[in-house]
Each structure stands twice: as structure tokens, then as C-alpha cells.
Structure 1
Amino acid sequence: MTLPLPQSDPALVVRSTRIQDPGDLVSLIPDDAEAPVSWLRDGDGFVGWGTAAAIQTHGTARFDDAERWWSGVVRDAVVRSEVDLPGAGLIAVGSFAFAAASPAGGVLHVPETVVGRHHDVCWLTTVGTAAHLPTTPALAAGSGADAPVIADVRDGALSDNQWTEAVGAAVERIQSGALDKVVMARDVVVTSSTDIDPRHILRNLSGAYPNTWTYSVDGLIGATPEMLVRRQKGLVTSRVLAGTIRRTGDDEHDLALAASLARSSKDLEEHEYAVRSVADALSPHCSSMNVPESPFVLHLPNVMHLATDVAGVLHEDVSSLTLAASLHPSAAVCGTPTLAARDLIAELEQMDRGRYAGPVGWLDATGDGEWGIALRCGALESPSQIRLFAGCGIVAGSEPAAELSESDAKLVPMRQALGCGS
């Protein structure tokens, strides 16, 4: 699923107006919506549909080409906004491939209609051109999204046994001193006998995982717990997750597991590599930074992660997209050293990650925005087929069977959202 590459877009006319709270945002996406998008957390964020402008980019220049195109869109646009809040006014939603060689490339997409909420303030943004001025749509809940009828769930590039063998080979490579850490991912292909409605997945994800960022752009749908970078009025933040343990559902036992995770030398080592890679990438752009010495344990419904929030003050005017590009790929999704890990991923995973583990999010006309890492997600390959992804950080002390179990836990959100397992 790709969006068209425009050769010369007319100047956009953008209008954001304050509205009464419309209720559940996902339900507002029309039944026949073209190119639905979303970015939601704890009920706040936005949904959108329609395509006012879009660009597809490829290769090593995928971020730079998108940034250059966006600068032109912003320069020529006429924007009238009653709301000065994150996500209001002119925005573009985007996602980018993990690897430069991936044909998935990158996309920035300006929706024709956006409905947003920030705390108690709600707004409607419409986008058109001088020749086709934006009109105000009637907002109403759609007829609802039916659950897909799952027909088949199968291994992707590698079977369980093949993947654990690949993890074992990665551990051997690490123990030989070739690298410190590598993130190994696997895929699962789900086929439905009916069309898969993105709204059904979004509703289930946002309901079950409200503390994550639930996203949809260009057929990539998921709920990420990891904020790659947020830029807002000169401040930059990044939430780093690395080190994972599966929850049991027994609160007392889970507290004990959380304590063991916080003491695990294997997980702390993995986490340290990820934090260091983010801090090193942000440092050149910041006049000051705060990097906590120790992580905290982030509790999600299905897993717990070691987490660290890195923050800084920007000393230069770089957009959130440029910051996301400078951070990608972090050790949390690639490894350390980056080039050695990237090469080992290409050798052992035997699949194209597409936009899994790449930046996904949005930016506005000022360059502010939020970019998560595309985790806990699936990529629609056809109206009735979706490919799910999960990855694990591998270090010298990793055990392949335990990593397979961790990857299964990370597949739970999407499998539950589709109705094909737990």
C-alpha cells in the first residue's frame, strides 16, 4: 500500500476550528475513509482521513527528501487556526522504513480532515487548495468496524526453530567480540477471509493499551510504547525501552518480576546500550541534557520494560523529523555498534522489515511533533492480509528460547486486536 508521489502540489489552505468534544475519535473515521491516519494516547491525539498532499521517498535520502518536500508545503501554505495545541493546524503524518534498501521507503501524508483532542480542547482541521477550498464535514460516528474473520496464521520468513537458531548464531557472534548487541526481529502473517478494517484494530489497541501511542499511517497500524523523539517549543524528549519481561496477570508475582528485571545484568546491559545511543545522537543538537543514571520499570498490560526518559534543550532549529532521522536506528531496534548490528540483521533475519522499527509519527508547520518507533505493529499487505512483527534485543547472555517467548509476548497486542490469539 503506497501513496502517490506528487510532482507539484498546489498551495494548501488549512483551517483549524475549535469544536465540542465529539467523543471517541476512532469512531469518527468514516466507513469509506480513504487513507485513515491516527495518533492517539490516553484519549488525546488525532485521527484523520483523505489525502491533501503526500510524498513517497526512498533510499538513504528518504528522510532528507521528505523534509525538503515538507518545507516547501509549509512555505506555500495558508494556515488559519483557532487552536495553538500539538497536532492542530497544518500537520503531516509519516512513517519510514527501517533500512535504506527497503522498497517500503518513507511517506509523509497531509490528511484532508483531522479531528483532534488535547486534554479538554477539541478541534477540526480541514485542508484544501485555493481552487478547492476546505469544507466542513459533518462529524458522526460510523456504522462500526466489523472484526475480521481470521482464516490463517502462519510463520513469516522463519519458523520458530529457524528463528531461535538465528538468535543462537547472533549470540555466538556477540560472544566472539564482533559486536555488543543486536536486535533480532521475526514476522507472522495473518490472513482473513474478510477485509481487515483498520478502525477495528485501532479501537482494540487504544482501548487495551491506552498508555501507548496508537498509530495508523499508510497501512502501518500499531501501538508503540516507545517515543523516539518529541520536539515541543525548544524542548526535546525521548523514551528509551530495552529489557523486557512478560507479565503473568498475578499482581504480586508481577511486582517480583519487575524487581528482578530492574536487577537483571543482561537487561541492564541491553538498556545501557540503547540509552547511550539516544543520548549520543541528541547531544550535538542540545545545549543541555538530562540522562537519568538508572531506568524505571514501565508496566504495560502484557509486558514490563526497563525505561529511561532522556530530555534536552535544543540549541538549533532542527525539526522533529530531522531529530528522528538522527536517532534512527537506535540501539533499541538495531544494536551496537550500529553498522555491525545492521549487517548482522540483514544476514540472519532473512526478511525485509519494511517500516517496522522505523520512525512513525507526525510534525507540524513549526517543526514540532512526535515520532515513535513503529513497534507492536502490523503492515497491511492487502485488504485481507497483515504482517505482524516483533523483535528482541540480543546480548551475550541471551537465551534463544527465552527470546522466542519474549517475541511472542510482543506479538500479543496485535494478535488480540485482530482476534487471533493472546
Structure 2
Amino acid sequence: MSVLAASPVPLVVRTVEIPAPDDLLALLPPHGISWVRRGQGLIAWGESARLETAGAQRIDEADAWWRRVTRHALVRDDVRQAGTGLVAFGSFSFADASAAGGSLVVPRFVVGLRDGRAWFTVIDGDGLTDLPSLEDALGDASPPAPLPPIAIDEGDRDAWATAVASAIERIGAGELDKVVLARAVQATGDGPVDVRTVLTALAADYPSCWAFHVDGLVGATPELLARVDHGLVTSRVLAGTIRPTGDETADLAHAAALARSSKDREEHEYAVTSVTNVLAAHCASVNVPDEPSVLHLPNVMHLATDVTGVLSHNASALELIRELHPSAAVCGTPTLAAAHVIDELEGIDRGRYAGPVGWIDAAGDGEWCIGLRSAEIDATDPSRMRLFAGCGIVAASEPEAEWAESEAKLEPMRRALGAHIDA
């Protein structure tokens, strides 16, 4: 069931080039949208149109709605780069049955920066007579507020161990090959949390990740579900994890051990296969490296594989992510069996954690990641957040090791909120 909120008249869109800002995130107004990596990307604010959707067809409904919106839009784009012209930002729940559903938001204003070129886009449902300046669009927004004191729960270690042990038992019995279990912890501040302060910390600590905020989901995700750019599609698969020590020599040895680990290689291969099978149905050719690389992040190291393909037909980014989600990296293998085990053992509604989050343009190109290393801001109380982490469970998994891995994956959000808890 969907609620549509498109403009009653065609959207009028104007994109102009502007001087490149020194810091894209520093321009972000309160409650704005962020999609920033290595200082580049998109920020947005305001709202010209919105779709709220839920259920198993939520991404298909978003794709159909977006096609209708773009078909009637009037666009003048002086820059013509990825992310210029008419764009929308979205996030979707992990599970079909989740009350979190999904949304696609067409902002009022967008500022983008890529390869030294910057632009300002205005999107209006009432027609554009005079293009406002960036300064007028930003208004007198207050600077980011310091974080209040925030208490973060440690989580239920015994319940986690029980769930992981049960999953391992089911894998051993042949019910499935892999399942990804997630846990959530509550964070409560003495006052409202300014998401801009959180984003600034995440972007500084994890520059190679996408620092995002879309409809109350904030995080720094390293996992690219699908980027579509003029017929080329790319997906970065991450599965298999080890925690670094901080000692460069030791961590090189740890990275080599991760690359050789049969347990982590098995987990990774399931995820690569699930993505490759989807892309093969849409691409004239798909390239999969013979060996995974090791992605080094401050809190974890992952086995990583970039799967690329050339589309054989005009598939939109939303069409692809609908088929790619949920991949084995966030659900398991086989998918239906893993989803059933998640429902029985996890004990939480993931909301939009581990669901697709990203943006799409009028051509159907865009960039969508998996909403990992993230927190969900309470819609009615911005002093409250739920932090999430998940771990891939296979036959060789051990509950204690999986707890330590989940603690490492909670670390980005804990640090961004001013807390640090050793595993």
C-alpha cells in the first residue's frame, strides 16, 4: 500500500554550476539529506515530492512512481554530470513485512560536487520564475550543535550467543548454508542529536565509506549494492570480516590470514554468487575477479569483490536493487531459508537497516548502497536512536567471535556519538 505525494504539476528543475565548496557537508542544513564519500557527492534539503510505500512491492512501486515523475518533468541542466538535474533519494526496509516500508524523496534543493565541479539544483512543483541563490536557499541555518551526553546500551550477550548457536545448529543440519543475524542497541541522549554532527564525524573517520542520511537513517556504509552509470553497473560485495589491531605489521598478517580463511572465503563466495547471478540476467557481460581483495577500514577489514557488468537493456538502478536485495551479504543462502531463520531467531525489526539506501536520477542511473554501520533516529524523539550490526553465520562460526565482530561493526556509530566500548 502506497501513499503518493507528487506535485500536482510537472516538476521544474534547474541545475547551474557554482564554485566548488571547500566542505560539502558544512553546507548541510538541519535534517538535510547526505550522500558523501571522500568529500564528494550530494547534499539536499527541502521536499518537492515524496512517495511512501510498504510491502513486498515497495521498490517496484517506487520505480514506477519515479518513471511517472521524470516523464513529465521539465529539466534544464547546464552541468550534465552524475547527480545533476532531477534526482530523488530513497531508503527501503530490509524485510517485506517491516512497518518501516520505504520512501523516495525529491528534494527542493541539491548541491553536488564531483571531480572539482560543483552544482546547485532547484526543483519546484509550482514552476520556477526566478532561480534563488544558494545563499537564499540555505537561509540562516544554525551551525551543527554539539552532541549531548549519550548513553548507549551494551546489548544482550547471552541472547546473541543463543541465536548464533541455534543458527550454527541449523546450518549443520542442512537447513541452509549461511544466515546473517543482526542485533540492535539503544542510544539515548540528554537532548536532541544533530545528525550533521554525527555525519561530520563519520565522514572524517571513514572517508572511503558513503556518509549518508536519508529519512532518519544515518551511517557510513562501505557496501555498494549497485551503481548504474550510462550502462555500466558495479556492485561491491563485502563478506568475511576481521578486526584490526592498529599495528601495521600485525594487520598485514591479519589481512593475509583473512584472505586465506576458509570460513570467511565461504561466507564471501555465497555473497558474490548471489550478486553475480542477478547481474548476469541483465548484463551482456559480467566481470568477477578471481580472488577477493581486502578492504581496510579503521574498525574492520573485509574481503571485498567488485562485480561489474555492461547492461544489455535499459534497467534502472531501482529495478536492479529490487532484484539484488537482499543479497547473501545481509540475508544468507538460500535466501528464503535464511529469511525464515532471521524471522525466528533475530528478535528485532531491522527497519531500514541493511536495506537499500541511495539516489537515482531522471535517466535511471544512480548509486545505492546497503544501509550498514548505521543508526535509526526515532521519528518522534531525536534524542533516541537504534544502532545496528550484523554478522554472517556459517558452519564454522563461533558465538564469541561473532559477538566481537558485531562490536567492531557498532564502533563507527558509537564513536560518532561520542562513545567507545571495547569488545
| Partner in structure 2 of residue 110 of structure 1 | 106
The one-letter code of the counterpart of 1:388 is: L
Once residues 198 and 4 of structure 1 are traced to their aligned partners in structure 2, the CA distance between those partners, rounded to angstroms, is 26
Q: Please state whether the residue corresponding to 1:60 is helix, strand or coil.
A: coil
| Partner in structure 1 of residue 52 of structure 2 | 56
| Partner in structure 2 of residue 413 of structure 1 | 412
1:203-242 CA-to-partner distances (Å, cap 9, x unmatched) read 0111110000111100000111000001001111100000
| Partner in structure 2 of residue 386 of structure 1 | 385
Q: Which runs of 5+ in 2 are unaligned?
A: none
Q: Which range moves more in the overlay, 9-18 or 366-375?
A: 9-18
C-alpha contact (below 8 Å) 2:6/2:49 kept by paired residues: no
Q: Please state whether the residue corresponding to 2:201 is helix, strand or coil.
A: helix
TM superposition score normalised by structure 1:
0.96
| Partner in structure 1 of residue 151 of structure 2 | 152
TM superposition score normalised by structure 2:
0.95
1:225-374 equivalent positions in 2, closer than 5 A: 225-374=222-371
1:259-299 CA-to-partner distances (Å, cap 9, x unmatched) read 10000000000000000000011111001110112100011
Q: 1:93 to 1:144 in 2, by over 3 A?
A: same
Q: Please state whether the residue corresponding to 1:318 is helix, strand or coil.
A: coil
Shift of 1:149: 1.8
1:365-385 CA-to-partner distances (Å, cap 9, x unmatched) read 000000000000000012110
C-alpha contact (below 8 Å) 1:185/1:389 kept by paired residues: yes
The one-letter code of the counterpart of 1:152 is: A
1:152-201 CA-to-partner distances (Å, cap 9, x unmatched) read 22256xx1110111001000000111100000000011000111111011
| Partner in structure 2 of residue 86 of structure 1 | 82
1:27 lines up with 2:26 in the alignment: yes
Shift of 1:142: 5.1
C-alpha contact (below 8 Å) 1:390/1:410 kept by paired residues: yes
1:38-89 CA-to-partner distances (Å, cap 9, x unmatched) read 1111111011100111111000110111111101110111111111111111
Once residues 353 and 310 of structure 1 are traced to their aligned partners in structure 2, the CA distance between those partners, rounded to angstroms, is 26
C-alpha contact (below 8 Å) 2:226/2:321 kept by paired residues: yes
Say how many residue pairs are matched.
415
1:36 lines up with 2:32 in the alignment: yes
1:211 lines up with 2:208 in the alignment: yes
C-alpha contact (below 8 Å) 2:47/2:106 kept by paired residues: yes
Identify the match of residue 65 of structure 1 among 61, 64, 84: 61
The one-letter code of the counterpart of 2:354 is: A
Once residues 335 and 47 of structure 1 are traced to their aligned partners in structure 2, the CA distance between those partners, rounded to angstroms, is 33
The one-letter code of the counterpart of 2:216 is: G
Shift of 1:127: 0.9
Once residues 304 and 276 of structure 2 are traced to their aligned partners in structure 1, the CA distance between those partners, rounded to angstroms, is 14
Q: Please state whether the residue corresponding to 2:321 is helix, strand or coil.
A: helix
Shift of 1:4: 7.3
Once residues 4 and 154 of structure 1 are traced to their aligned partners in structure 2, the CA distance between those partners, rounded to angstroms, is 35
The one-letter code of the counterpart of 2:202 is: L
| Partner in structure 1 of residue 15 of structure 2 | 16
Q: Which range moves more in the overlay, 143-152 or 211-220?
A: 143-152
Q: Please state whether the residue corresponding to 1:405 is helix, strand or coil.
A: helix
Shift of 1:131: 4.4
| Partner in structure 1 of residue 189 of structure 2 | 192
C-alpha contact (below 8 Å) 1:28/1:142 kept by paired residues: no
Once residues 91 and 376 of structure 1 are traced to their aligned partners in structure 2, the CA distance between those partners, rounded to angstroms, is 25
Q: Which runs of 5+ in 1 are unaligned?
A: none
Once residues 7 and 233 of structure 1 are traced to their aligned partners in structure 2, the CA distance between those partners, rounded to angstroms, is 27
Once residues 226 and 180 of structure 2 are traced to their aligned partners in structure 1, the CA distance between those partners, rounded to angstroms, is 20
Q: Please state whether the residue corresponding to 1:372 is helix, strand or coil.
A: strand
The one-letter code of the counterpart of 1:137 is: L
1:317-338 CA-to-partner distances (Å, cap 9, x unmatched) read 1101110111000000000000
Identify the match of residue 97 of structure 1 among 88, 93, 96: 93
Once residues 141 and 246 of structure 2 are traced to their aligned partners in structure 1, the CA distance between those partners, rounded to angstroms, is 34
Once residues 8 and 59 of structure 2 are traced to their aligned partners in structure 1, the CA distance between those partners, rounded to angstroms, is 19
Percent of residue pairs identical: 54
Once residues 169 and 291 of structure 2 are traced to their aligned partners in structure 1, the CA distance between those partners, rounded to angstroms, is 28
C-alpha contact (below 8 Å) 1:166/1:348 kept by paired residues: yes
TM superposition outliers: structure 1 runs of 4+ over 6 Å: none
1:77 lines up with 2:73 in the alignment: yes
Once residues 289 and 300 of structure 1 are traced to their aligned partners in structure 2, the CA distance between those partners, rounded to angstroms, is 27
Shift of 1:29: 1.6
| Partner in structure 2 of residue 167 of structure 1 | 164
Shift of 1:143: 4.1
Once residues 339 and 236 of structure 1 are traced to their aligned partners in structure 2, the CA distance between those partners, rounded to angstroms, is 26
The one-letter code of the counterpart of 1:375 is: L
Shift of 1:132: 5.7
C-alpha contact (below 8 Å) 2:148/2:189 kept by paired residues: yes
The one-letter code of the counterpart of 2:393 is: I
Q: 1:15 to 1:248 in 2, by over 3 A?
A: same
Once residues 317 and 274 of structure 1 are traced to their aligned partners in structure 2, the CA distance between those partners, rounded to angstroms, is 25
